[in-house]
Amino acid sequence: MSDPADDLIPSVFARDCASRGVLTNVTGKWGGLALAALHDGSYRFNALRRRVDGVSEKMLAQTLQALERDGLVRREVQATIPPRVEYSLTPLGARAAAKLKELIDLLEGEIGQVRAARAEYDRDHAAGVR
């Protein structure tokens, strides 16, 4: 069965487009951080949870499941006792994570400019400029 949406040009701006769904998974608060962490190498669940400071166990599990379903993250269960579950990026996930990492590097590198803009905005708005 072919999905009629397959014939359209994908656009994240269209609310029902699958590409908007995957963008939301990739750039959602925890999805983006999980992908960026996995960009540095594979992780076991608890190590990833420590790396992504502030995420709950439940939210991280849901986030990884959505990324796995999108084909961006691979979940590998090793037959050890106890079983060891490791998460890593698929080739497509690695490409997405690399783009995301560039964005993160830019924002981390320019955080001084962002702080200055926030201070100015807060000053202007406290003074009732607008």
**Contacting residues toward a copy of itself, per CB under 8 A:** 3, 6, 10-15, 17-20, 22-24, 26-29, 32-33, 36-37, 51-54, 68-72, 92, 95-96, 99-100, 102-104, 106-118, 120-122
Under a CB-based contact definition with an 8 Å cutoff, are residues 89 and 39 in contact? Answer: yes
The whole-angstrom separation of Cα 123 and Cα 73 is: 43
**Cβ closer to a copy of itself: 81 or 129?**
129
As a whole number of angstroms, the longest Cα–Cα distance in the chain is: 64
To which residue do tokens 């807060």 refer? 122
The minimum distance between CB 108 and a copy of itself, in angstroms, equals 4
According to DSSP, residue 34 is labeled: H
The minimum distance between CB 81 and a copy of itself, in angstroms, equals 18
